[in-house]
Amino acid sequence: MEKLNRHTFYSFISAGDRVVEFSAQWCFDCKRLRLSLPELENRYASAFRFGELDVDEAREIAESLGVKGVPTFIVFRDGREWGRLPAKDARKEKNLTPFFDRMSYKSPA
């Protein structure tokens, strides 16, 4: 997972399908999910590039996007938010695969 910061975030999400995990060093659920994320990242590698943004290091970005808790996953398509798995749902590992399945579906243009 690519580590993002306030300088790299917008260029990362600007083109293509991206998943950003909004997390924090102190977040127990974020640490627990890190064990599952490499497997999910491999599974969805053809659909997304994955990045992680620490909300304490980029508070202004998290606030501007309305991130209220961590971990939160936001899917971006060409710079626009496509979907969100908020902290209350993202804390449950069983919710990640259905969310990524739904988000990886590309409807016809």
30 given a catalytic annotation:
yes
CA proximity to 90, closest of 23, 11, 39, 7: 23
71 given a catalytic annotation:
no
Active-site entry in 4, 13, 20, 27: 27
SS (H, E, C) 93-104: HHHHHHHHHHHH
Active-site entry in 13, 19, 24, 30: 30
Residues with catalytic function: 27, 30
